[in-house]
A and B are shown apart, each in its own frame.
Chain A
Amino acid sequence: MNIPEDLKYTESHEWVRVEDGVAVVGITDHAQQELTDIVFVELPQTGDTFKAGDPCAVVESVKTASDIYCPLSGEVIECNEALNENPDLVNSEPYKGGWFFKIKLEDTAEVEKLMNPDTYKEFIGQ
């Protein structure tokens, strides 16, 4: 199970990389393994605003649809359009080409509430 050291994690299995007040969001290796064959990703629109914990995207595997929750409050400034053509990037590169969207943070203090890699590792029972 790949759990990069430089990321923060949520209990709903999203990861976050924060740089200069902007967070890149995706789902974890554990999440993609649980979902298996991802066939469609419904991304938010640029300009959408969310509160931390709001459902903001949907990941569809062959079998089921799963909500993705916004880890931090803010405004969506960019979405990963590559997922429209290649949703399987979420399976093959969950931390690279499989990122979902970037969000401009409303309150950078929220970042401290997210899990660090060790806590997430424990959380998923690894």
Chain B
Amino acid sequence: MPKRTPLYDKHNQLGAKLIDFGGWEMPVLYTGISAEHKAVRNKCGLFDVSHMGEVRVGGPAAARFLNGILTNDVERLSEGEGQYTIFCNEQGGIIDDLFLFRIDDDEFLLVVNAARREVDIERLRGCLDGFEGKEDVVLKDISDDTGMLAIQGPKAVDFIDAVITSRGCCCLSRAVSSLKRNQIGAFQFGGESVWISRTGYTGEDGFEVLAPVQVLSQLWERLLEVGGEYGLVPVGLGARDTLRLEACLSLYGHELDEETTPIEAGLKPFVALGKERFNGREVMLRQLEEGVKKKLVAFRVTEKSAPPRQGYPLVDADGADRIGVVTSGTFSPTFTEGLGLAYVEPAYARPGTKVFIEIRGKLVSAQTVKRPFYKRTG
């Protein structure tokens, strides 16, 4: 029996098409992927992402514990700031990619992938067992009590303050719209405390709200009511996938898995190599010195064809050798052409390299390009 978010009935009322995603029954689309995709690029969209997992890590040694595991530099975070970071195993393989927020000096909030939540908790506890300051760290999975909505698109900033009118306590007291990229703050909605960050997974400006499950329906309704005038529409996971792919944001299970390191996945900017330790450090340093066996590239299809899909082989320009495999592929609603991400042998990773994608036995012309496909302006 798949899990359902508190908004399951709302999705049905809106006529959503539901699919199983990571053990959750989630809306894949409401009206159509292309229309929802364009709404986010041009105006704004509302996503139920309550399947995401949330973990709190707190205590006097919390920062030191997390910094010794995760790839990014936790010490770079001030209170109210977040960063994209990666949780690897000791071989450098990616257990999960996540967003880490420092909500207080000694208090952190981790937003993890739905399908990896249980593995994350188990591995984090494993790491904690071997940590010498473990008495000073408290780890708590709050996913079941926490819902999550994303409001994404250029118009989101224009109405968010009209929905979240009540500011949080003390030093974080300010308007939601004053949050800068990757910042997080505490606010009030429906008599409950909610966390709002200026983050997202679409390549657009926008916000993500972490709220107790009991106010989620009310928040969803209020957002659609106020945001409707600004073009806000509900958006499913289908468009979430095409949006993130145009922005070249990796998806666990596609670009990322335990057989892949952040270096191979092009995530070096999120690896603080100067730190004394984090999981997989030695393997990653060695890869940087000796090179990697595969590299993530972005590619676009350059002839009329079916869209590329995960698992399709990449073949060299002579049409002779298999040189890689597609990890994510789609028809792009923004560029109206096939595009995707793939792992290739490093010799073929330079942008501008001509390759073929093998689609049902046919070789289709494609070219590697600089990441990302889509970058918002302004």
Contacts and interface: CB of A to CB of B under 8 A. Distances in A.
Contacts of A42: 306, 360
Interface stretch (A3-11, A58-66, A69-77, A117-125): A58-66
Interface string B8-51: 00000000010000000000110011110100000000000000
Interface residues of A, number: 14
B238 interface: yes
B307 interface: yes
Nearest to A58: B306
Contact of B307 (A34, A36, A40, A84): A40
Given A36-B33, A37-B33, A84-B304, A62 B330 contact: yes
Nearest to A63: B238
A39 interface: yes
Interface in A55-113: 58, 60-65, 84
B242 A62 contact: yes
Interface residues of B, number: 20
A64 B237 CA distance: 13
Given A37-B33, A37-B34, A58 B360 contact: yes
B306 A65 contact: yes
B309 interface: yes
B333 interface: yes
B373 to A, nearest CB: 15
B305 interface: yes
Contacts of B330: 62-63
Contacts of B33: 36-37, 61-63
Contacts of A37: 32-35, 333
Contacts of B17: 34, 36
B242 to A, nearest CB: 6
A61 to B, nearest CB: 8
Contacts of A58: 306, 360
A42 B304 CA distance: 11
B28 A63 contact: yes
B333 A62 contact: yes
B87 interface: no
A45 to B, nearest CB: 12
Contact of A39 (B35, B309, B331): B331
Contact of B306 (A34, A40, A63): A40
Interface string B328-350: 00110100000000000000000
A82 B37 CA distance: 26
B304 A62 contact: no
Nearest to B242: A62
Nearest to B309: A65
Interface in B28-77: 28-29, 32-35, 37
B29 A40 contact: no
A63 B238 CA distance: 7
B140 to A, nearest CB: 36
Given A62-B33, A62-B34, A62-B238, A39 B360 contact: no
Contacts of A65: 306-307, 309
Interface string A24-65: 000000000010110110100000000000000010111111
A60 B331 contact: yes
A65 B28 CA distance: 15
Given A62-B34, A62-B307, 18 more contacts: A34-B17, A36-B29, A36-B32, A36-B33, A37-B33, A39-B331, A40-B305, A40-B306, A40-B331, A62-B37, A62-B333, A63-B28, A63-B238, A63-B241, A63-B330, A65-B307, A65-B309, A84-B304
Interface of A: 34, 36-37, 39-40, 42, 58, 60-65, 84
9 contacts: A36-B17, A40-B305, A40-B307, A40-B331, A58-B306, A60-B331, A62-B238, A63-B33, A84-B304
